[in-house]
Structure 1
Amino acid sequence: MNLTDYVINIKDFPIKGVDFKDITPLLNNNDALKCAIEKFVEIAKTIEFDAIIAPESRGFIFATTIAYLLNKRVILVRKKGKLPRKVYAFKASSEYDAPILEIHVDDIKKNDRLILIDDVFATGGTAKAIKLAVDHLGGELVGGICLIDLVFLHKNEDFFNKCHFKAIINIK
């Protein structure tokens, strides 16, 4: 199944100059969603890890399902003010904004090996910020898996190779 067929490109959203990758058609198709989840799980099984870390909001969709299927924990990364307990706050950057993100400080255990699950890797700003936060909290980011990698936005960036990031769909 070609999952690219279930991703719609929306020009100038959420701001002019950004081509948004709409994955809702994939989520709305039983076979495409099942295929995507199976591919995530296949990749995740090749990595030794303790928990999944996922940024809101679309990362949550895939992370919780994968965690359930692989019997792993899920650590949520939320925008500022959304988590109720003590948090570690950090700044991320994307192709169109620079939000403050937060993680519950007690969700990451010392020496936890984590994989990052998200829908799209674009510039790498969010992934890099999450890696630094994980390091700060005593864990280790050992890999990442995304549905879509916008390779053209970070083509000269070796961060993704060094951290063993894999994508189901690569858009060059």
Structure 2
Amino acid sequence: MSDTISELAASIRSIPDYPKPGIIFRDITTLLGNPRAFRRAVDELVQPYAGLKIDKIAGTEARGFILGGAVAHQLSAGFVPIRKKGKLPRDTVRVAYSLEYGVDEMEMHLDAVQPGEKVILVDDLIATGGTAVAATQLLRQMGAEVVSACFVIDLPDLGGRRKLEELGVDVRTLVEFAGH
């Protein structure tokens, strides 16, 4: 593991038994609060796409907004918020997706992306992949080309990365943690 990746992993707080027993919650608020770690994470997410023409960065609510905004700024791209149902003020397009115990919906503005635009999806963590797969479907439904999906954390035991790759999406992650 490189020094940068080790530093990033060390800046992420692990909270046992949250939100329920047996789960270890990976909290990036400690990474975000550390200027050096935050900058390094954004630099690492941006690096493979520097110099490419990326039109938009799409971030999922809520930590994807923080990271995605910073990545969009660095790449001189626009930012598209993908939100939970009912949070956007204008005409939206929406997709339903499965949660561990039920179904939820996410949406984006109808005019957020144009057909053919190159988009990178950004969020803090990929676990089961439900949110990222739904966001990818939503972007593609509007004609966007999802160039990549980027995450600070991968929980590979939960299989989300594989689901995105099966959809033909390039996946980039910075840190892996075993388990949940």
TM-score, normalised by the number of residues in structure 2: 0.86
Q: Spell out, residue by residue over 1:70-120, the C-alpha distance to the aligned partner (whole angstroms, 9 max, x if none).
A: 110111100111100001111233556642111101111011111101100
Seen in structure 2, the aligned counterparts of structure 1 residues 93 and 81 have a Cα distance that, compared at 3 Å, is same
For 1:143, the equivalent position in structure 2 comes to 148
* CA deviation after TM superposition for structure 1 residue 122, in Å: 0.7
Seen in structure 2, the aligned counterparts of structure 1 residues 167 and 47 have a Cα distance that, compared at 3 Å, is farther
Mapped contact 1:89–1:100 kept (Cα < 8 A): yes
Which stretch of the first structure deviates more once superposed, 91-100 or 111-120?
Answer: 91-100
Q: Secondary structure at the match of 2:38?
A: helix
Structure 1 vs Structure 2: percent identity of aligned residues?
33
Give the length in aligned residue pairs.
172
Give the aligned CA root-mean-square deviation in angstroms.
2.1
For 1:152, the equivalent position in structure 2 comes to 157
1:51 corresponds to which of 32, 48, 56? 56
Mapped contact 2:57–2:78 kept (Cα < 8 A): yes
Matched, 1:38 2:8: no
Mapped contact 1:95–1:123 kept (Cα < 8 A): no
Which stretch of the first structure deviates more once superposed, 24-33 or 43-52?
Answer: 43-52
Gaps of 5+ in 1: none
Mapped contact 1:18–1:96 kept (Cα < 8 A): no
TM-score, normalised by the number of residues in structure 1: 0.90
Which stretch of the first structure deviates more once superposed, 67-76 or 91-100?
Answer: 91-100
Gaps of 5+ in 2: none
Seen in structure 2, the aligned counterparts of structure 1 residues 99 and 11 have a Cα distance that, compared at 3 Å, is farther
For 2:138, the equivalent position in structure 1 comes to 133
* CA deviation after TM superposition for structure 1 residue 128, in Å: 0.9
Q: Which amino acid aligns with 1:86?
A: D
Which stretch of the first structure deviates more once superposed, 134-143 or 149-158?
Answer: 149-158
